[in-house]
Amino acid sequence: MQALLIMVLAFAGYIIMYKFYGEFIGSRIFKLSASFKTPAHEFEDGIDYVPTKKEVIFGHHFTSIAGTGPIVGPAIAIIWGWVPALIWVFLGSVIMGAVHDFGALIISMRNSGKSISEYTAKYINNRTKIFFFLIVFLELWIVIAVFGLVIAIIFSMYPQSVIPIWLEIPIAVYLGYLIYKKGANVMLWSIIAVIVMYITVVIGAYVPLKMPAIAGIPPTGVWSIILLTYAFIASTLPVTTLLQPRDFINSHQLVVAMTLLILGVIVSTMSGGLEIVAPAIQSAPAQAPTMWPFLFITIACGAISGFHALVSSGTSAKQVRSEQDALFVGYGSMLLEGTLATLVIIAVSAGIGMGYTTKSGEVLTGVAAWTTHYSSWAAAAGLGSKVSAFVDGAANMIAALGLSKGIALTIMGVFVASFAGTTLDTATRIQRYVVAELCSDLHLHVLTNRYVATAIAVGTALILAFATGASGNGALKLWPLFGAVNQTLAGLALIVITLYLKSKGGLKWLIAGAPAVFMIVMTIWALVLNQGQFGTQNNVLLQVINVIILIIALWIAVEGLVKFFSTNGNLSAEDITEPI
pLDDT in tens, 70-81: 888 898 899 999
Taking Cα atoms as reference points, which of 479, 563, 533 lies closest to residue 68? 479
pLDDT interval class at 223 (50, 70, 90)? very high
Which residues, other chains included, contact 560 with Cβ-Cβ below 8 Å and sequence gap of 6+?
A: 124, 128, 492, 495, 496, 498, 499
Q: Does a cis peptide bond (omega within 30 degrees of 0) precede residue 480?
A: no
- Does an H or E element contain 364, and which? strand 363-364
| Phi, psi (deg, nearest 5) at residue 237 | -70, 155
279 located within any domain:
no
* Segment 254-260 mean pLDDT: 89
Would you call 214 helix, strand, or coil by DSSP?
strand
580 located within any domain:
no
* Segment 401-405 mean pLDDT: 88
Taking Cα atoms as reference points, which of 275, 262, 260 lies closest to residue 3? 275
Does the pLDDT at position 577 exceed 50? no
* Segment 363-372 mean pLDDT: 88
Does the pLDDT at position 567 exceed 70? no
Does the pLDDT at position 360 exceed 80? no
pLDDT in the model for residue 571: 44
Instruction: Identify the DSSP state of 315.
Output: T
* Segment 457-469 mean pLDDT: 94
Q: Which of 62-71, 407-416, 495-504 has the lowest mean pLDDT?
A: 62-71
The model carries a pTM of 0.91
- Does an H or E element contain 356, and which? strand 356-357
- Does an H or E element contain 363, and which? strand 363-364
pLDDT in the model for residue 379: 60
Q: Are 286 and 377 in contact (CB under 8 A)?
A: yes
99 located within any domain:
yes
Does the pLDDT at position 31 exceed 80? yes
Q: Are 488 and 549 in contact (CB under 8 A)?
A: yes
Taking Cα atoms as reference points, which of 157, 577, 303, 287 lies closest to residue 295? 303
Residue 423 domain boundaries: 2-274+285-359+367-575
551 located within any domain:
yes
Q: Are 90 and 340 in contact (CB under 8 A)?
A: no
Q: Which of 119-128, 376-385, 486-495, 552-561 has the lowest mean pLDDT?
A: 376-385
CA torsion sign for 147, 143, 70, 262 is negative
* Segment 10-21 mean pLDDT: 97
280 located within any domain:
no
Taking Cα atoms as reference points, which of 531, 532, 533 lies closest to residue 546? 531
Domain total in the chain: 1
490 located within any domain:
yes
pLDDT in the model for residue 384: 66
pLDDT digits (tens, 9 = 90+) for 498-536: 999 998 888 999 999 999 999 999 999 999 999 999 999
Quick count: other Cβ atoms within 10 Å of Cβ 249? 23
Mean pLDDT taken over the chain? 90
Distance between first and last Cα of the chain: 48
* Segment 396-422 mean pLDDT: 88
Q: Which of 18-22, 148-152, 338-342, 570-574 has the lowest mean pLDDT?
A: 570-574
204 located within any domain:
yes
Does the pLDDT at position 580 exceed 70? no
pLDDT interval class at 574 (50, 70, 90)? very low
